[in-house]
Structures are given as C-alpha cells and as structure tokens.
C-alpha cells in the first residue's frame, strides 16, 4: 500500500515474581528464555521468572 507506514517490532520480556506475583516489563535481552529464573524481585526477596516474551508492532 502506498500510504501504509512500515511497522517495526519491539521485543519485550515480562518477569513475574514467584512470591508476590509482581510483574515487570522490560526490553528483551539476547539469552532470555521463557520460565527461567532471572533476578531478584524489586519489592520482596523472591526470585522472578520470565513469564512471557513477545513483540509489539509500532509504526515507524
């Protein structure tokens, strides 16, 4: 289409704390794997697990 803008995909990772269920959205880093434990939770001493990895399409 002449007037449609090109779309780019932004990659995100959602981390969820196994203890307090707090979710944190951040940019995807190479090596992120679903269900792997990544870091300590910001609000409690629990460990976070990668819950989702997805892409969001935005117009350029």
d(CA 19, CA 21): 6
Annotate 11-24 with b (16+ C-beta within 10 A) or e (fewer).
eebbbbbeeeeeeb
Q: Which of 6, 30, 45, 59 binds other proteins (CB under 8 A)?
A: 30
- Does 11 bind other proteins (CB under 8 A)? Our answer is yes
Which residues are 13's β-sheet partners?
26, 53
Q: Which of 33, 45, 59, 60 binds other proteins (CB under 8 A)?
A: 33
- Does 3 bind other proteins (CB under 8 A)? Our answer is no
Positions that interact with other proteins (CB under 8 A): 9, 11-12, 14, 28, 30, 33-36, 52-57
């Amino acid at each position: 289409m002449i007037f449609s803008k090109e779309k780019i995909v932004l990659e995100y990772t959602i981390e969820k704390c196994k203890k307090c269920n707090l979710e944190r959205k951040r940019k995807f880093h190479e090596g992120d794997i679903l269900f792997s434990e990544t870091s300590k939770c910001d609000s409690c001493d629990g460990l976070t697990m990668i819950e989702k990895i997805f892409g969001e399409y935005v117009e350029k």
